[in-house]
Amino acid sequence: MKKSFVFVANALVRGLVIVVPLYLVGLLLFKAMSSVAGFVRPLSHLFPDWVPAEKALSFLLVIMICFLIGLAVQTRQGQRAHAFAEKTVFERIPGYAVIRGLTHRIAGDEQETVWRPAFAEIEEGLVPAFIIEEFEDGRYTVFVPSIPTPFAGDVYVLESDRVHPLDVPVTQALGVIAKWGSGAKGLVAAMEGAGRASHSPNVRSGPRIHGQG
């Protein structure tokens, strides 16, 4: 019975992790299509009534706008404009920087400092966590997810010797959390491998590993 419950819950969480981001993307896409519908409505009258021309043209216009913005930000002037817009507008939106950092991490941007996988020493254990920001004095703000929900949990401010950054993809760390810790040995191997490479005295294998329930 317990194994059946764990199996069902695990499948449910995996589905939510996939469906919720897709739902949000779809919701934003439909909102954008509604916003540009007025621009394409005159052209939609050129098509037969049985063709959903307004929706199709709205979708194509949104995709074209995204494509052009993507091209623009690859130029030097576009990067400057994007940086200016982020500092003056986007970063004033609560949670924007954190969500942006997570998106970049999932996309494979290893230069992003937000949402870096780590182990945090909480009490006598090593807990899977994510680095949200680093203080000038070396301390870290870390987010410790609840098991098995990766996007709910607790926030800690810890000294640097209690936080062990991991050189692993953020998707691997999220997968360990969503699977009740299954696969954590890969994270431990990454931490211990980094410790052997740097001979850091801060990396210890003593504390046990546990998650936040």
Q: Please give the full DSSP string across the chain, using - where no structure is assigned.
A: -HHHHHHHHHHHHHHHHHHHHHHHHHHHHHHHHHHHHHHHHHHHTTS-TTS-HHHHHHHHHHHHHHHHHHHHTTSHHHHHHHHHHHHHTGGGSTTHHHHHHHHHHHTT-TT--TTEEEEEEETTEEEEEEEEEE-TTS-EEEEEEBSS-TT-EEEEEE-GGGEEE--S-HHHHHHHHHTTTTTHHHHHHHHHHHHHHHT-TT--S-SEE--B-
Q: Are residues 66 and 13 in the same domain?
A: yes
* Mean pLDDT, range 21-30, rounded to an integer: 75
Q: Are residues 10 and 83 in the same domain?
A: yes
* Mean pLDDT, range 149-156, rounded to an integer: 80
Confidence of residue 107 (pLDDT cuts 50, 70, 90): low
Q: Are residues 8 and 69 in the same domain?
A: yes
- pLDDT higher than 80, residue 63: yes
Q: Is residue 108 part of a domain?
A: no
The pLDDT > 70 percentage for the chain reads 67
Q: Are residues 65 and 143 in the same domain?
A: no
Q: Are residues 80 and 132 in the same domain?
A: no
Q: Is residue 101 part of a domain?
A: no
Q: Is residue 98 part of a domain?
A: no
Nearest Cα to Cα of residue 144 among 156, 134, 160: 156
Predicted confidence at residue 21, as pLDDT, reads: 65
Q: Is residue 103 part of a domain?
A: no
Q: Is residue 100 part of a domain?
A: no
Q: Is residue 190 part of a domain?
A: yes
Q: Are residues 13 and 83 in the same domain?
A: yes
Buried b (16+ CB within 10 A) or exposed e, 53-87: bbeebbbebbeeeeeeeeeeeeeeeeeeeeeeeee
What total of structural domains would you count in the chain? 2
Question: Can you give the residue range of the structural domain that contains 185?
Answer: 116-209
Q: Are residues 126 and 41 in the same domain?
A: no
Residue that finishes a domain, picked among 37, 58, 92: 92
- pLDDT higher than 70, residue 203: no
Q: Are residues 75 and 120 in the same domain?
A: no
Q: Are residues 122 and 200 in the same domain?
A: yes
Q: Are residues 133 and 194 in the same domain?
A: yes
Beta pairing class for 208-209 and 125-134: parallel
Q: Which residue has the higher pLDDT, 131 or 7?
A: 131
Q: Are residues 88 and 128 in the same domain?
A: no
Q: Is residue 10 part of a domain?
A: yes
Mean pLDDT is highest, among 43-47, 55-59, 104-108, for 55-59
Predicted confidence at residue 104, as pLDDT, reads: 63
pTM above 0.85, yes or no: no
Q: Is residue 155 part of a domain?
A: yes
Q: Are residues 59 and 14 in the same domain?
A: yes
